[in-house]
A and B are shown apart, each in its own frame.
Chain A
Amino acid sequence: MISPEALILVLFGLSAGLVLLLVLRPSLTENRNGKILAFVGLFALPILCSFVGTSAQMERSKQTSFCLSCHIMEPYGRSLQVDDPHYIAAAHFQNHRIPTEEACYTCHEDYVLYGGIRSKWRGLHHVYVQYLSKPMNPIHLYVPYNNRECLHCHLGARSFEESPTHTAMHDDLVSNQMSCLTSGCHDTVHNIGGLDKVKFWNGAPLK
């Protein structure tokens, strides 16, 4: 089975080969078939490649390895391997409550209409801050974490709905009046400040 990446490379190779042929032998375009070939090579295929490539880039930017390729994110990646169930990000990652290959994106995407586009826009802002401005120290979210992202999966789940604590504050949680990350609840998320004092579990390598 050929992987999508290989297919994309084949498409790019085919396009580049055709364009190279036209650059080396432009006289091919003198007849009708050559003109069609030029239209395909210099118009249709490059546009198709750009669309397919953009789509591949979008998909790849969801991957955990992509987020962690930025140096500043390294401790956040390490926090996913903390051997402590109270570390909520680590517990989700290690127990496969989220897809491990898209761990960052799954929890930090906005689960609303056009949320994916908003996330990508935020990603571009991260790059802008990294290269043309000054990253926050310590870095933190631009806006408080929205319960909507947790409830996208947990709302309606038995473990959430049957918990007396959750039942007591159900409406406040759903309306985002009270954060899931409130002190005393799920307040240990990445806690990168304390990573030098915790044990690590190496059973799920970051990918």
Chain B
Amino acid sequence: MTAHNPMERWLRIAGVFVLLGLLVEVLALRWVHPAAFLVFAFIGIPIAVMGIVIYLYSLVSLRGSARRT
């Protein structure tokens, strides 16, 4: 369960964000209420996007540091 290298740790963090974002999105989809769209668009999507950005950043930064060493 423990992450052995920085890449795996970043993947895990990104995964948790994406998972949380997807969970909020799916709950908002099941919720029949005018605020459901707001929860979906302004909470669910940003959390998932944060996970995607962390994943992409980890790809770029760790590849850059591997090249330097």
Contact = CB atoms under 8 A, between A and B. Distances in A.
Contacts of A206: none
A20 B29 contact: no
Interface stretch (A124-132, A167-175, A181-189): A124-132
A133 B14 CA distance: 36
Interface string B24-64: 01101100111111101100110011011001100000000
Interface in A57-111: 57, 60-61, 65-66, 69-70
A29 B8 contact: yes
Question: Which size bracket describes the interface of A in this complex?
Answer: 35 or more
Contacts of A22: 11-12, 15
Interface in B11-25: 11-12, 14-16, 18-19, 21-23, 25
B12 A19 contact: no
- Which of A22, A61, A131 has most B Cβ within 10 Å? A22
Contacts of A57: 28-29, 36-37, 40-41
Nearest to B3: A26
A23 B16 contact: yes
A38 B23 contact: no
Interface in A15-73: 15-16, 19-20, 22-24, 26-27, 29, 38, 41-43, 46-47, 49-50, 53-54, 56-57, 60-61, 65-66, 69-70
A29 B22 contact: no
The DSSP consensus for interface residues of chain A is helix
A26 B25 CA distance: 24
B32 A27 contact: no
Contact of A46 (B1, B21, B38, B41): B21
Contacts of A126: 34
A126 B35 CA distance: 10
Nearest to B38: A127
A8 interface: yes
Nearest to B13: A23
Given A12-B26, A12-B29, 14 more contacts: A12-B25, A15-B18, A19-B18, A22-B15, A23-B11, A23-B12, A26-B8, A26-B9, A26-B15, A27-B4, A43-B55, A50-B44, A57-B28, A57-B37
Ranked 7 nearest A-B pairs via Cβ:
A26-B8, A23-B15, A42-B55, A26-B11, A12-B26, A70-B34, A46-B48
